[in-house]
Structure formats: structure tokens, C-alpha cells
Amino acid sequence: MKVKVVINGITFCEEISPNTTLLEFIKEKAGLTGTKTGCENGECGACTVIMNGKPVRSCIILAAEAHGAIITTVEGLAEKDKLHPLQQSFIRKGAVQCGFCTPGMLMAAKALYDRNPAPSQKDIEEALSGHLCRCTGYKPIKEAIEDAFNSHYN
Amino acid sequence: MSNSYIGKSIPRMESFEKVTGIAKYVHDMALPGMLYAKILTSPHAHARIVSIDKSEAEKLPGVKAVLVGSELPYKLGLYLIDKDILAKGKVRYQGEAVAAVAAESEEIARRAIELIKVEYEPLTPVFDPVEAIQEDAPLVHEDLGSYDYMKGVFNPIAGTNIANHFKLRKGDVEKGFKDSYRIFENEYTMPQVNHVPLETHAVIAEWTKSGRINIYTSAQSPFAVRNLMSIAFKIPHSKIHVRVPYVGGGFGGKAGIHLEPLAACLSKKAGGRPVKIVASREEEFNTIPSRQGLTARIKTGVSEEGRVLAQEIVYYWDAGAYADYGVNIGRASGYSGAGPYEIENVKLDSYTIYTNHPFGTAYRGFGHVEFFWAIERQMDIIARELGIDPYEFRMKNLLKPGSITITGEKIRENTGRVDKCLKTVVEAIEWGEQKTEEEKQEEFKKGKVTGKGFAVLHKAPAMPTFTSCSAIIKFNEDGSVNVVVSGVDYGQGTYTALAQIAAEVLKMPIEKVHMVWECDTDTGPYDWQTVASRFTFMGGNAIIKAAHDAIDQMKEVASAVLRAPKDELEIGNEKIYVKHNPDEFLTYREVAMGYTYPNGNSIGGPIIGRGKYIAQGLTNLDPETGQGLPALDWTYGAHAVEIEVDVRTGELELKKVVSAFDVGKVVNKLLCEGQVVGGVVQGIGTSLYEGFVYTPDGRLLTNSFTDYKIPTSKDIPDVVEPLFVETPQLDGPFGARGVAEHPMISVHAAIGNAIYNAIGVDIMELPITSERIWRAIKEKERRDQRAKTLKG
Ligand code: FES
Ligand code: FES
């Protein structure tokens, strides 16, 4: 079957088998390897991308379901050479260690960022729920997200 | 240039790559013509392989190679060579790899796996390490006696399940017990747990027809992979090329050797096409090794004033089905296994025992997370029974300058101060006045009870005496440098710290120091393994030497050009200048590739600094007494926690964790704090949630994130506070010591001690689940009730 998806502003129209996941589509068909695979079971959040404005776990969505969708991956987060405020604060706050959870964390945070200019601690917690990180202990990630909001909106 | 880089909070230098998705991990890589492999695993914990029929799988279109153990005449292992690439003759744990397929696509490989038929004849399994050393226990490795191992260091006992018996004898425990006022005997246990790196193990290997093996792997130790393959396959080292790009977390689990040999053998069978294996999350839990389990028995004799006079310790390690790496965990926990205490009489036996569980390997803390659960709970129990404050009790017994450790090492002024760490954290939680019995009752009635607790820890790098590493600093045409090392930075931030050290010594801006990211055994300098929190220490020292070597070469050239003796030259601001006349100088750039005089004559040549470091003065330990010098350096630390327990449900809330480590010198505060917070939270996982659970016949139930919970962002305490003590390590780079593993050690014991402090129950088994706390509360209520009735 043929599936058309717009990823980071570029249209990909590809022939795929019906059981291809969106994650496989992004990594293998679109060649965007920034999105990560941690469990292939919807349980770790590493594969999170933004689909039509909402964060989704691309490993449990079929590419066919994403037909016609607009998708942003971590590669689409920076504008030209300018890093997104979230990317900047992740660096500043040491929210990145091995970096394997980072793309998913960033996309979850970005979805929050886009819909809620003043999130509470609880909103941030909610956005990160089900996103696993084994390195940082989450504290720097939460701080980075808070910091990005503060520096951007204040 | 601004002042020193040492002590500065510089963000990880590779952060940009990681926040933009540029960083490539093995998971993300593909080579032309690459095949995909899948593994068939054993459904039995212990069974004889009667037959394997792979003919149907081989017939499936797209299948390029099918392998079973009998085709692979190799054995592998780090310290004890006991591992097959695929099970041979029998399977030793459920989840063990039995056969593997390489095919044009993952889908085909998966289908081919289903077509392989294996007939098993179940054998009696053994799961409990204490049972496994009974005389009539089924043997996991009948051929243990014929295995090769590191002689003089390990002690496998043929005809048993004991892969290693480490013995330590100091003083006379019998006499110590005789002199004791009281004796305490307890048993503590900890289950196996998994590292859970977010990136599962992944490898791409090709075994070309020309006889070379090329590998990309998510390994912590590229040179160890090369060395062990060279030994197993009898291929020269120069023909094996191991490369390590970005790695998504390791924690010890990617040290040693894992899927690399299997991928290489599949490639060979498939005619040399590259083969990629990525462990599924289930395989990461069930097939790839985890942390060993531990049953610890401790008998402690104390004087009336609270001095520990004698301690008899037995560690029974549940090594699982293989112990190639595990034997060294038993050894490392043996020589430091009484904790950072000065005890005159110690008898310690550490048995690494084969069972039919998935096997164990290095995991952050390397045995110390396990045994400190026992040691630090035991210390609290003793203090309270003696009616001594647990802080005072520890202070009386902790190692101090002048103390002798259990292996006979003398602690010096600059070894590090565990007492200062403990004092720091105890003050931070305002330990002191205890609640009265009435206040406790009152709290209990309200349903929520608070408590405080603490625990100390120590650890030295666990490594062979000959562990070495090296570094190369290559100057570039523009006067910047490329620093090449072969330890892997899989998230710890070591490369950033090393760049700071290089910039500091070379007196140049850190922006001009490029750490070469991909590790490469063909071009990189040797490094033993990236484990044991030793990389900053040893790598840092090697880099300092390499920098001095480069500086010396540049001075050589400058001396001729500036017509000044070498010892009158100084460096600074990327220049070599004459001490008493700084206007007379050459820039690094002018000498980097050789200096050219105005008339065209040239001298010097490309500047390449080399540096090396080998652990100095370490000795093998006496096989009977364990005496000797095993430790490069000791990092000490302590944690203190505040908790609240809901007495109706047993639910525990961790309110605050304060941790202090004597790191010698904080090279980069941001990164050090990151290591501590991350390690503490990983330690919270081990304390409260994590642990392998099996069916009675040894099938792992906790092999997914649904059944094996690690801490999430909701589970972390409001306050996690990292603090540092700085007692400079004389031979450390700028006085620094490693602190990668230590934050994870003893978190559980601090929590366990706080639980007693809160509600008066002793938890002896990990993890400390709400259910366990609730049961303990009920048990205590029953006991108290009975006591009341008897009295009445
Ligand atoms: S890979 Fe999709 S949630 Fe883990
Ligand atoms: S940074 Fe390694 S998993 Fe989050």
C-alpha cells in the first residue's frame, strides 16, 4: 500500500507493507534516525513524535493510520541553525546524558510547550509520564522544561 | 583565557548532537547489503538439547544463515571462559540463545526462527544459590574443571556449582567473638535486577572473506571485545576492527562481550554480508545478563562500648547460568565486603554460584550495591540493640587515616574521608533528637509516620592489577587538538571532563579541544575497559601525560627558534614563550605541523603527544587470606533520607535524599551532580521497585516494562541533593577520583534504616515494596498484641 506523510515539512510518499509502524516509516523510509526505539511496545516514550499537534508513540501506530498526517520529529525541532528553547535548556541543565531518551522527551515537552504557555509542575509531570530515562533521574529534565518556559515566556 | 577549567560546570560537549537527533547509535545504523538477525531462545531453565531441526528455516526464501551451537566450537569469557555463543548440548536458563537466523529482513528472520524445531529433555534445575552448593545439587556446568580462567586470581571448584570462592581472613574471628559483649546474626537478600539501558544491546558485524572482522557495537569496552574475540576465534588482534559510536546507556551491562561473536559468526556463514542484531526489550531482560542476586549472612561481635570486634560474612551470589564476569563481582565484594569499617577480625567467604537463572554481569556498583544492603542494615540493627545512636556507632568504627582495611591496606590522609561524608549528610537531614514513644503513637494513629535514616559506602575500581590505558593528543594545522582515547562515554560525561583536563594542561580554550567521539580499535590507543568508575582517573592521568609530551615537543622546536633553553620556556594562551621575555614567543599554530623559517628551512614536524597510565602497585590477593593491595583508589560516600510511611497501605514516600561523596576534586560540578542524581534515582529503583520474579520452573515473569517497573518522573523525591567532600587524591588528575557508580550504592540501606526509624520494622529483603512494608507492619502488630496479652 502507498502512504503519504509530511515529516518536518517534507512529503514522503512510500510503498509499504500494511504492518509497517510509523516508527519504522520514519526511520527506514524517511531515513530520519533521530527518533529512538526503546521497547517497541508503547511503554518507554523514546519513539515519541508529534502527529497533528499531539505527542504519539510512533512504535504502536501503523504508518497507514498516519496517512495524510503532519509529523514533527526531533530533527524538525530547531529552526534552521537556531536551537529550540527546549533544546537549549536541555543542554544548559544537563538534561541529556546518554541521549537515548532525549528525542522522545523533547517531543513530549514540545507538544506541551505548543499548547500550554504556563504549565504547572503537574502538567510537566503529566507530559513526561510514561517517558523513561535511566540516566538523569528526571530532575534535570524537569528543570530544563521549566527553564525553557520561563526564559521564553517571561 | 579565563581562569582554570577545573571545577567549571561545562555542559556535555556532545549535547548538540544529542538534542538534534544527529548522534548516531548502532540502532540507527545500516550498512549496504546488511542482513537482520533474530534469536531463538530456550523455554526451559535447564534441559538437554536432544535435537534441533533447522531444515525448514533454511528453506525459507530470504534466509541467508541459520546457526546452532554445535556449529560453533568456541568458548568465550572475560575472567572465566565458560560461555558458548549459542547453547551447546544443554540449555542453562530460560531465555538462553539456542539458534539464530540472519535474513534479508527482520520479518523473514522472525518467521524462520519459528520454523526451527528443538526437542528438549528437561533436567532438574537449581535456582537458589544456597541450595546450589549442597552436595547433591544438580550441576549447571559439569565441565567446570576443564574451563580456562585467570589463574592466581580466581578459584573455581570443579565438580560443584562454585565458579569462584574468594576467601578473606584477617585476625582471629573466634577470639573476637569470644571477647564480644553481644553477637548479631542476620540474613539479607537482594534479587537480580536489570540495568535497563534505554538502548538495548545492538551490533553490526561482518566477517569478510579476507578474514577480517569489522564490528560496530554498543559496547562499553571496544578493546575487550576485540581481545576476547581474538582469543576465541584464534584470529590476530589486527584483523578485528571494533568501532563504538554513541551508546545509549550501559551501567556495566555493555562491558565485556555480548552479541558481537554471534553476529560475526552469522556473517561468516552468510558469506561475509554484514549482520545486525538488536536485542528486543524482552531479550534485554531475559537473554542478556543482569545483576547477580545475593544472599548475605553476617555475624557480628561487638564490645559493650560499640566497637565491632569480629565479623564473619558469607556472600552467596546467584550468578545465574554463566559467571565469566560474575566471578570478579564475587572477588571485588570480597575484598571490600565489610564496608568502610576498621575491624580487627574478619572472616569472609564470597561464593559465586551457578544457578539456572539468567546470568549476572557488571552493573553500576559491581557487587557493592548488593552487599551494602546487608552491611548497612546490620550496622543500624546493632547500634539500636546496643542503645547507641547509629551515627555515633558508625563514627566509632569507620575507617580513618591510619586504619588498616580488611586486606591490610593502610588508609592515609589523602585516601578520602567517609566520616566527613557521613557527617555532611547527617547534618543535612538534621538527625538528632528522636521522637518519643508517645509522639510515635500519635503519628501512627494519624496514619502517616515519618522517619530518617542513613548509610555509608565505599568502592574502589574492580579491575585486574595490570589495567592500563593510553591517550593521544594530535595537533591540527590550526593549532587546535584532537584527543583520542578508547574509553567510551555512554552518557557519564567523561569526555567533557577529559577535555577540561586537556585544555587546562595545554592552556588553551576548551573550544579548541576536540574529543574524538567514535572509539576505534584500529586507530585509537589502548584502553582496557570503560568500567569501575576509573576512566576519569586513569584516562585523565594519561591525557595529562600526553599533554606534557606534546608541550615538550613544542618547546623543543621553540627552543631552537627562540634561541632559548627549553627550561626557560613557558606556555600560556596557546603560545610558547620565553619566561623572562613573553614577547619572544611562537604560537601553537606555528609549531603544530613543524616550524618554517623565513628562508624556507623547516624543523620539528606534526606534534602528537602520547600518554599512558597503568594502575600502580596493585597486587594479586593471597588465595587463602585475601591480603594484598586491590584498590587503585577508594571513593567514599554516604546517603541520608527522609521518608513517610502510610501505615494503612505500606506505601512509602521518599521526601528527601542527601548524598555526599569524597570525589577528591570536583572537575565539573554539573556533570558530577548529574551522575549523583541519576545514580540515586537508579538506586531508588533497586530499593523500592525492581527485582526479577520467576515462575516455579524458572521462567522470568518480569521481562517487559509492564512487569518490571523502573522509576518514572513521578517517583522521584522532592529533594535530591548532591554534596561533595574534597580530599585530594594525590595521584588522581587534579586530585580527582571516580564517582560514576557510587551514587547507586547504599540508597536502599538508608531507606531500610529510615523505615525502622519510622515504624519499627526491619525489612531484610529487597525490593522494599509497599506490600512488604504492609506485611511487616501487620506482623509487628501481631507480635505487639501477643506481647500485651502475655503481659496481661
Ligand atoms: S519504543 Fe515506542 S514507546 Fe518505547
Ligand atoms: S539520558 Fe540516557 S536514558 Fe535519558
Q: What is the mean pLDDT of residues B462-480?
A: 91
What are the b/e assignments for A52-81, b being 16+ CB within 10 Å? eeebbbbbbbbbbebeebebbbbbbbbeee
* pLDDT tens digits along B164-205: 999 999 999 999 999 999 999 999 999 999 999 999 999 999
Residues of B noted as catalytic: 741
What pLDDT is recorded for position A152? 63
Q: Say which amino acid occupies B300.
A: T
CA of B27 to the centre of ligand 1 (A): 14
DSSP string of B506-575? HTS-GGGEEE--SEETTTSPPB--S-TT-IIIIIHHHHHHHHHHHHHHHHHHHHHHHT--GGGEEEETTE
pLDDT tens-place string over residues B541-567: 999 999 999 999 999 999 999 999 999
pTM of this structure: 0.96
Residues in chain B: 792
- Contact between A27 and A3 under an 8 Å Cβ cutoff? The reply is no
Is the Cβ pair A138, B21 closer than 8 Å? no
Q: Please write the tens of the pLDDT for every residue from B3-45.
A: 599 999 999 999 999 999 999 999 999 999 999 999 999 999 9
Report the residue of B16, B18, B251, B712 to disrupt the A interface, i.e. the one with the largest count of A CBs within 10 Å.
B18
Q: How far is the CA of A47 from the centre of ligand 1 (A)?
A: 5
**B283-322 residues labelled b (16+ CB within 10 A) or e (exposed):** bbbbbbbbbbbbbbbbbbbbeeebbbbbbbbbbbbbbbbb
B68 pairs with which residues across the strands? B99
Angstrom distance (rounded) from CA B120 to CA B97? 14
pLDDT over 60 (residue B705) = yes
| Per-residue confidence (pLDDT) for residue B646, from 0 to 100 | 97
Separation CA B614–CA B608 (nearest Å): 20
Check residue B2 and give its pLDDT. Answer: 45
Mean pLDDT to the nearest integer, B662-685: 95
On whether the CB atoms of residues B295 and B318 are closer than 8 A, the answer is yes
Helix residue ranges per DSSP H, B361-493: 368-386, 390-397, 418-428, 437-446
Q: What is the ipTM of this complex?
A: 0.97
| Residue B24 Cα, gap to closest chain A Cα (Å) | 8
Percent of chain B with pLDDT over 70: 99
Query: For residues B94 and B87, what is the distance between their CA atoms, to the nearest angstrom?
Result: 11
Cα B248 to middle of ligand 2, angstroms:
7
Cα–Cα nearest to B642, from B652, B631, B630, B632: B652
Hey, of B106, B193, B198, B489, which one would you mutate to test binding to chain A, going by the most A CBs within 10 A of its CB? B198
User: Residue B437: what pLDDT?
Assistant: 85
Helices B368-386, B390-397: inter-axial angle, 10-degree rounding: 110
Mean per-residue pLDDT of chain B:
95
Which of chain A's residues have a Cβ under 8 Å away from the Cβ of B196?
A: 132, 134
Residue labelled with grid coordinates 510512533 = A58
| Nearest chain A alpha carbon to B18 | A99
Phi/psi at B130 (5° precision)? -70, -40
Which residues of chain A have a pLDDT value below 70?
152-154
Q: CB of A36 closer than 6 A to ligand 1?
A: no
- Secondary structure of residue B742 in the 3-state scheme: helix
Residue B187 makes CB contacts below 8 A (sequence gap 6+) with B295, B296, B297, B298, B764
Q: What is the pLDDT of residues B501-524, one digit of tens each?
A: 999 999 999 999 999 988 999 999
pLDDT at res. B1: 41
- The yes-or-no verdict on residue B355 having pLDDT over 50 is yes
Q: What is the pLDDT of residue B151?
A: 93
> Of B277, B269, B287, which Cα lies nearest the Cα of B215?
B277
The minimum CA-CA distance between A73 and chain B, rounded to whole Å, is 9
Neighbours of B747 (CB within 10 A): 29
Residue B137 DSSP label: P
Q: What is the pLDDT of residue B792?
A: 66
Q: Is it true that the peptide bond before B767 is cis, omega within 30 degrees of 0? A: yes
HEC-encoded secondary structure of B290-318: ECCEEEEEEEEEECCCCCEEEEEEEEEEE
- Return the residue matching grid coordinates 521497585: B689
**Cα–Cα distance, B534 to B483 (Å, whole number):** 18
Pairing of strands B481-484, B63-68: unpaired
User: How confident is residue B533, by pLDDT bands cut at 50, 70 and 90?
Assistant: low
Return d(Cα B464, Cα B624) in angstroms, integer. Answer: 18
Reported as a pLDDT band with limits 50, 70 and 90, residue B667 is very high
Confirm if B752 and B377 have CB atoms less than 8 A apart: yes
Round to whole Å and give the CA distance between A56 and B32: 31
B19 in contact with A, Cβ within 8 Å = yes
Cell of B471: 591517550
Terminal Cα distance for chain A, rounded: 48
Q: Tell me how far CA of residue A92 lies from CA of A95, B5, B713, in angstroms.
A: 8, 17, 19
Q: Give dist(CA B280, CA B441) in Å, integer.
A: 50
Nine-digit cell string for A58: 510512533
Question: How far apart (Å, rounded) are the C-alpha atoms in residues B426 and B665?
Answer: 22
* 3-state class (DSSP) for residue A20: coil
Element (H, E) at B789: helix B770-791
| Residue B289 one-letter amino acid | P
Q: Which residue of A has its CA nearest to B669?
A: A94
For B61-113, give the DSSP string.
TTEEEEEEGGG----B-SSB--B-SS--SEE-STT-EEEEEEESSHHHHHHHH
Task: Give the three cell numbers for residue B231.
Answer: 582469543
